[in-house]
Amino acid sequence: MMKLLFQWIFLGLVLQLVLVVSASDFKRLNIWPMPQSVSYGHRTLYLSEDFEISTEGSKYPDTSGILKDGFSRLLAVVHAAHVTDGNVTHFPQSLLLKGIHVVIFLPNDELQYGVDESYKLSVPSGGNPVYAHLEAQTVYGALHGLETFSQLCHFNFTTRVIEVRQVPWSIIDQPRFSYRGLLIDTARHYQPLQMIKKVIDSMAYAKLNVLHWHIVDSQSFPLEIPSYPKLWDGAYSITERYTLADAAEIVSYAQRLGINVLAEIDVPGHALSWGTGYPSLWPSKDCQQPLDVSSEFTFKVIDGILSDFSKVFKFKFVHLGGDEVNTSCWVLTPHVRNWLKKHGMNASEAYQYFVLRTQKIALSHGYEIVNWEETFNNFGNKLSRKTVVHNWLGGGVAERVVAAGLRCIVSNQDVWYLDHLDTTWPKFYANEPLTNITNPKQQELVIGGEVCLWGEHIDGSDIEQTIWPRAAAAAERLWTPYEKLAKDPRQVTGRLAHFRCLLNQRGVAAAPLAGPGRVAPEEPGSCYMQ
């Protein structure tokens, strides 16, 4: 009898646990990335049919229409999942959300590194008329606020209208790191313009703010460079190319979503394709990279490229690569070997000379510089103080970079390379850029991080599912205050699954969470459980 009683009590406990879990599941805050501070209630408002934006009192004139377009995108994503064929007019006026009142304090919309991205969003629980209220210093903070608002909106299958549940909301938010990047590689495979724009759209959903465009590499040179018009002879085909106008279009498209474009040329290694149009950039037919360090023409070409870049890529940084430089064939090429001898340099000194000279050219065009970490590892104390060191080889690098007083971007390949398909999302989530960095001044030098999608196995057919949802895990790490991040990634599984399904609803081919990257769903079942 006693035993049976215990069994009943035990069963009751289990049932209760199940109920608690599903109730909290329903009430879970399904916002990704998690804002700095959130409070909410338990009432519901209904989105009015003529839901509008009001900008009364805003200092931002929106002459370029960035805010207006952001509002159109908000309406589009909120209505993307279902046809809203319910009738809201029979709800009391006091429960109809008439619109969102957006107040922006700064008039200009220059998008630059470190731009204020903070916002405050509140949705009252009633009133007449009822407006959500969004405040931001810049239009780019306001765009983040609109994205957050869109994630509060839900279609109701009974009323068939859009609801904002759990009002009143009060959200105060700003990013933890000012550089939150995604690398795409258009040299290993060409990515069509529309696909790049789709990736940019999806980045905005996760509040990523830098598209690192690894444009050219050994395999192909797809970009038009007017100063040296034969460079894009190194493209895979005549169609797989970007005109400079295409590049300008990418930059302006991204900018209107609050995303900067970091353009990269990777020198002196990773540049074999440059010689298709200009063979004299190769040391010789048998030594096609690194670029010929002994030739003035090499630096003239780099100057021409960066001069053309500066007309289109307005971000304060340019990426100059500098990784994986194998100098052995310099020494084997007679005219280069003679040049080295004449200048009293060995090959590793010539590598340093190349990188530093290229840095000077970039500085002369007004850029600050990002270089891959090998440059720091080999001659860190010689780098321009305007260098940001881009970590990739592994952990512990940021620590040394900031101790040397330079800035750092974290992309350690063991956990933040999206093309490493066996890296699961919890590893992306758990990667902490400030690991082992405790000095606050040094912490500030870690400007952020970036997930990298190298393109050897990526084209238009699989780019989205290789990026998502794993990039979203890193996006929360880079956005959300440290104290609010889950100590155990499993705690956020449900919320990330929800975000992944939201991406699917918005037309982004985000892959299931279960298993490694880019997998197909394992079995029949709900999107939220995959």
Q: Compute the distance between CA of residue 261 and CA of residue 259 in angstroms, rounded to an integer.
A: 7
Q: Compute the distance between CA of residue 525 and CA of residue 530 in angstroms, rounded to an integer.
A: 7
Q: Which of 106, 248, 329, 434 binds ligand NAG (CB under 6 A)?
A: 329
Residue 350's Cα: distance from chain center in Å?
34
Supply 452's token pair. 């990298």
Shortest Å, Cβ 474 to ligand NAG: 16
Which CB, 156 or 310, lies closer to ligand NAG? 156
Which region among 70-78, 83-91, 95-103, 205-213 touches ligand NAG (by CB under 6 A)?
83-91
Q: CB atoms < 10 A from the CB of 175, how many?
A: 22
48 three-state secondary structure: strand
Q: How many helices (H) and strands (E) does the chain have?
A: 18, 16
Which region among 82-90, 256-264, 300-308, 364-372 touches ligand NAG (by CB under 6 A)?
82-90
Shortest Å, Cβ 346 to ligand NAG: 4
356 lines the binding site for ligand NAG (CB under 6 A): no
Q: Which of 39, 112, 348, 461 binds ligand NAG (CB under 6 A)?
A: 348
509 lines the binding site for ligand NAG (CB under 6 A): no
Bridge partners (DSSP) listed for residue 167: 43
Tell whether the torsion through CA atoms of 12, 15, 20 and 21 is positive or negative. Answer: positive
Which CB, 66 or 355, lies closer to ligand NAG? 355
Which CB, 57 or 279, lies closer to ligand NAG? 279
Which of positions 269-328 make contact with ligand NAG (CB under 6 A)?
Answer: 326, 328
Shortest Å, Cβ 287 to ligand NAG: 6
- Label the pairing between strands 37-39 and 169-173: antiparallel
Shortest Å, Cβ 271 to ligand NAG: 14
Catalytic residue of the set 324, 444, 456, 522: 324
Q: Compute the distance between CA of residue 276 and CA of residue 387 in angstroms, rounded to an integer.
A: 30
Which CB, 142 or 446, lies closer to ligand NAG? 446
Q: Which residues contact 382 (CB under 8 A, 6 or more apart)?
A: 352, 356
438 lines the binding site for ligand NAG (CB under 6 A): no
Q: Which of 122, 159, 227, 424 binds ligand NAG (CB under 6 A)?
A: 159
Given a contact cutoff of 8 angstroms between Cβ atoms, the answer to whether 261 and 315 are in contact is yes
Q: Output the DSSP codes for 144-204.
A: HHHHHHHTTEEE-TTT-SEEEEEESEEEEE--S-SEEEEEEETTTS---HHHHHHHHHHHH
163 three-state secondary structure: strand
158 lines the binding site for ligand NAG (CB under 6 A): yes
Q: Output the DSSP codes for 240-292.
A: S-B-HHHHHHHHHHHHTTT-EEEEE---SSS-TTHHHH-GGGSS-SS---S--
Which CB, 202 or 218, lies closer to ligand NAG? 218
439 lines the binding site for ligand NAG (CB under 6 A): no
Q: Which of 116, 249, 323, 349 binds ligand NAG (CB under 6 A)?
A: 349
Q: Which of 93, 435, 439, 443 binds ligand NAG (CB under 6 A)?
A: 435
Which CB, 86 or 469, lies closer to ligand NAG? 86
Active site residue 110: no
Shortest Å, Cβ 326 to ligand NAG: 4
Segment (H or E) for 407: strand 407-410
Main-chain dihedrals φ then ψ at residue 18, nearest 5 degrees: -60, -45
Which CB, 89 or 338, lies closer to ligand NAG? 89
Which of positions 364-403 make contact with ligand NAG (CB under 6 A)?
Answer: 395-396, 399
487 lines the binding site for ligand NAG (CB under 6 A): no
User: Applying CB under 6 A, what is the total number of residues that bind ligand NAG?
Assistant: 18
Q: Compute the distance between CA of residue 486 and CA of residue 480 in angstroms, rounded to an integer.
A: 10
Amino acid at 134: L
Q: Compute the distance between CA of residue 387 and CA of residue 197 in angstroms, rounded to an integer.
A: 29
515 lines the binding site for ligand NAG (CB under 6 A): no
Residue least distant from ligand NAG (Cβ): 395
Given a contact cutoff of 8 angstroms between Cβ atoms, the answer to whether 43 and 57 are in contact is no
22 lines the binding site for ligand NAG (CB under 6 A): no
Q: Which residues are catalytic?
A: 324
Enumerate binding residues for ligand NAG (CB under 6 A).
87, 89-90, 156, 158-159, 165, 326, 328-329, 346, 348-349, 395-396, 399, 435-436
